[in-house]
Amino acid sequence: MTTSTALKDMLQLVLNQSTTHFTAQTPLLGHYAELDSMGIMTLLMEVESRLYIDINSIELNVENFETFGALMTCIELAAHPLKATA
């Protein structure tokens, strides 16, 4: 399963709607009422349990939650921190 597919599955759980149409440009923060502070925490806990990523290694700033692509990049960098320095 790719990071994109896994993230879409997790977002579908949080947003309670289909995410199959999501692209890198799909806006998230401010476009889904379910993605409030509790929704973000639920999503981060899913990321931690499904992808085995320590959520403390994820940079928690607004920019990383603005679009699906930004969130996916953030998660991929947390999963593979050496890519950020390459």
Note the CATH number of domain 3-81: 1.10.1200.10
Alpha-carbon torsion (25, 79, 9, 31), positive or negative:
negative
| Contact (Cβ atoms closer than 8 angstroms) between residue 55 and residue 44 | yes
Sequence ranges of the domains in the chain: 3-81
What are phi and psi for residue 67, nearest 5 degrees? -135, 165
How confident is the prediction for the chain on average, in pLDDT? 90
Q: How far apart are the first and last CA of the chain?
A: 24
pLDDT of 86 reads 47
pTM: 0.88
User: Which tens digits make up the pLDDT trace of 25-47?
Assistant: 999 999 999 999 999 999 999 99
The per-residue pLDDT for 69 is 97
The rounded distance, in Å, linking the Cα atoms of 51 and 12 is 16
| % of the chain beyond a pLDDT of 70 | 93
